Structure formats: C-alpha cells, structure tokens
Amino acid sequence: MRILKYAILGLLYNEKLTGYDITSKFKGPLGQFWTAKHSQIYPELRKLTDEGFIQYEVVVQGTKLEKKVYEITSLGEKELSEWLEKVERDSSVNKDEFMLKTYFISAMEKEEAYDLFNDQLVKRKENLSKLQKTLSLLEEDEIPITFSSPQFGHYLVLTRAIEREKGYIVWLEKTIDLLK
C-alpha cells in the first residue's frame, strides 16, 4: 500500500502546496511520526496527478521561476475519505534500530550497553523537551483546540508522542538501574 499517497492527499486536503512545501511538512509536525524523502515525494506527486487525485497550476514567481502548486481533486478527496474510513488490521510499523540492538544486548560488554542506554536516554529527553515546547506553542494559539479546529489532529498526535517519550524514558531509566 502506498501510504505516502494518503499523507500527500491529506496535506493537500488542508491547503494548496508546492512540492517543496510538502517536503517541508515532513520535516515539521508530520515528521514526528511519518517520514518521506524528497526523492519519494516528487515521483508520488506525478503518480497522483496521473491518477487524477491531484492537479497543479504552474505559477511564475519572480521573472523566471516556475513552480507547481498542487491541490486535491474531488476524486482525491473521495480516495482519501475511503482510506480514512477503512479499518486496518495492524497499522503498526516497527523499525527501531535501538530496540534491535537491545534485543541482542548479550553480545555487548556491560559498559557498551550502559553507554548505549545513556545515549538513548539523552536523545529521548531532548525529543520530549521539543515536543513539549511544540505543544505549548499550539496551546498558546488563539484558536481553541476542538474537533473542528485545523490543529486537532496535530494536537492528538503530539500528545501521544509526548506520552510515548515519557514511557520510553521511564523504561530507559529502569534499565540503566539494572545495568549499574
């Protein structure tokens, strides 16, 4: 399944965007739980255009620079809606290199394992701090966070990410105590 297809359709459902704008979204809030590279996005935009799910307008910026501004079509909205309503059997995608290393911890020296876990703890605490700052900014916005607000989905994903990081930190601290 082409999940990137639906991520792009969802972004374009909210607003018209250039390919550059879409790439930037994956470096922002969306990137907290889903990633895509420039080299994946542009071929997907071509496919979506060919399938009639999106269309674009060429806009001239300055004297020579042309850029494509994409928008979702009614067919694209229907496709997005069908995907959103579809119940998935298992939506978890787990590729966590740190957990893979943890699984094989018996192949490490105790000091190496301790360093690995301490490094991960520092990274998780930094990530938690960034997420909490983002949440504070979102909550400071003058638009109340309700189901109908455009930021509601971001709020839900952000609060889940914060809880995930808090749980991860607790587990890391307990594991470090075991390694001492």
Beta bridge partners of 71: 55
Q: Which CATH number fits domain 3-85: 1.10.10.10, 3.40.1350.10, 1.10.8.870, 3.90.180.10?
A: 1.10.10.10
Residue-wise pLDDT tens digits, 162-177: 999 999 999 999 999 9
The dihedrals phi and psi of 34, each to the nearest 5 degrees, come to -150, 135
How far is 43 from 162, CA to CA, in rounded Å? Answer: 33
Pairing of strands 65-72, 17-18: antiparallel
State the pTM of this model: 0.70
- Domain ranges across the chain: 3-85, 97-179
Does the pLDDT value for residue 89 go beyond 70? no
Residue 52 region, left (φ>0) first, then alpha (ψ -120 to 50), else beta?
left
Which value, in Å, is the radius of gyration of the alpha carbons in the chain? 20
